[in-house]
Amino acid sequence: MEQLPQLPFLLITVAIASAIAIYAAAASDGREKFLCADCRFNNDEDCLKAERPRAIACTSYRAADALAAIARTSNGVTE
Ligand code: SF4
């Protein structure tokens, strides 16, 4: 019974941690976004995965602008 005075502190700590976690999830840049949205394979010919267009994890993901960035750097253009 000696631990009872610590209970309010524990509840307040849990409430604050939960509020921070909920805020972070709601404000995250990745909220409601899928990898396929900016993947260069996001079309019927290049990707046959069942996850498309709502993949949240994919080992085949390649950024759509990656080729353009490589082409720019190989042409001597730097950002
Ligand atoms: S390769 Fe992966 S991320 Fe890209 S379109 Fe297909 S499922 Fe989506």
Q: Which residue has the tokens 């079309």?
A: 43
pLDDT at 77: 58
Q: Classify residue 10: in a domain, yes or no.
A: no
Q: Classify residue 6: in a domain, yes or no.
A: no
pLDDT at 24: 77
Q: Classify residue 22: in a domain, yes or no.
A: no
Q: What is the pLDDT of residues 1-53, one digit of tens each?
A: 555 678 888 899 999 999 988 887 777 766 668 999 989 999 999 999 999 99
Q: How much distance in Å is there from the Cα of 26 to the middle of ligand 1?
A: 24
Q: Classify residue 44: in a domain, yes or no.
A: yes
Q: How much distance in Å is there from the Cα of 29 to the middle of ligand 1?
A: 19
Question: Which range of residues forms the domain containing residue 40?
Answer: 29-79
Residue among 59, 55, 51, 58 nearest 37 (CA) = 55
Q: Classify residue 75: in a domain, yes or no.
A: yes
Q: Structurally, how many domains does the chain consist of?
A: 1
Q: What is the pLDDT of residues 52-61, one digit of tens each?
A: 999 999 999 9
Please report the atom of ligand 1 found closest to the CA of residue 43.
Answer: 5
Q: Classify residue 14: in a domain, yes or no.
A: no
